Structure 1
Amino acid sequence: MFTYAGAAGRNRLQRWWDAIREHPSGVLLAAQLLGILVFPFTDEAGAGRTVISIFGLFVLAVAVMAVNRTPSTRVLAYTLGAPVVVLTLAEAVWSDVAWISFVSNCAHAVFYFYTAVSLLRYMFADAWVSRDELLATGATFTVLVWAFAYTYGAVQIILPDSFSVGGEIRPLSWFELLFLSTTTLTGTGLSDIAPNTSDSPDVRAGANFARSVVMLQMLTGMNYVALVIARLLGLTLIKFRR
Structure 2
Amino acid sequence: MYILDNVWKRFQVLPSAWLLFLQFVILLLSLFSHHNMPYKVITWMVGVLVLLLIAKVIRQTPMLSVLGLSFVYAALFFSFFILLGVRHPLILVMSHACEAAAYFSAAYGLLRYMFHDRYLTKDELFAAAAVFTLIAWGFAFLYSICQILIPQSFQNPNAVGLQSWLDLL
Same fold (TM over 0.5): yes
Residue of 115, 119, 123 corresponding to 2:106? 115
SS of residue matched to 1:83: helix
Query: 1:1-242, aligned counterparts within 5 Å?
Result: 10=2, 12-44=3-35, 46-68=37-59, 70-166=61-157, 170-178=161-169
The structure showing larger relative contact order (alpha-carbon pairs under 8 Å, at least 6 residues apart) is: 2
Alpha-carbon deviation of 1:127? 0.5
Alpha-carbon deviation of 1:95? 4.5
SS of residue matched to 2:152: coil
Q: Is the 8 A contact 2:26 2:46 kept in 1?
A: no
State the alpha-carbon separation in 2 of the partners of residues 28 and 48 from structure 1: 21
Change (3 A) 1:17 1:169: closer
Q: Is the 8 A contact 1:163 1:169 kept in 2?
A: no
Alpha-carbon deviation of 1:65? 2.8
Q: 2:137 is aligned with what amino acid? A: W
State the alpha-carbon separation in 2 of the partners of residues 53 and 163 from structure 1: 21
Alpha-carbon deviation of 1:74? 3.3
State the alpha-carbon separation in 2 of the partners of residues 150 and 40 from structure 1: 16
SS of residue matched to 1:68: coil
Change (3 A) 1:44 1:108: farther
Q: Is the 8 A contact 1:149 1:177 kept in 2?
A: yes
Q: Map Cα deviations across residues 24-45 of structure 1 (whole Å, 9 max, x no partner).
A: 1111111111111111212545
SS of residue matched to 2:155: strand
Q: Is the 8 A contact 2:79 2:95 kept in 1?
A: yes
Q: Is the 8 A contact 2:19 2:50 kept in 1?
A: yes
Alpha-carbon deviation of 1:117? 1.0
Q: Percent same amino acid among aligned pairs?
A: 29
Q: TM-score, normalised by structure 1?
A: 0.64
Q: Which consecutive residues of structure 1, in runs of 5 or more, have no partner in the other structure?
A: 1-8, 179-242
The two structures, once aligned, show a CA RMSD in angstroms of: 2.1
In the alignment of these two chains, the number of paired residues is 169
Q: 1:157 is aligned with what amino acid? A: I
SS of residue matched to 2:57: helix
Q: Is the 8 A contact 2:48 2:99 kept in 1?
A: no
Q: Is the 8 A contact 2:60 2:109 kept in 1?
A: no
Q: TM-score, normalised by structure 2?
A: 0.88
Q: Which consecutive residues of structure 2, in runs of 5 or more, have no partner in the other structure?
A: none
State the alpha-carbon separation in 1 of the partners of residues 61 and 108 from structure 2: 15
State the alpha-carbon separation in 2 of the partners of residues 48 and 161 from structure 1: 25
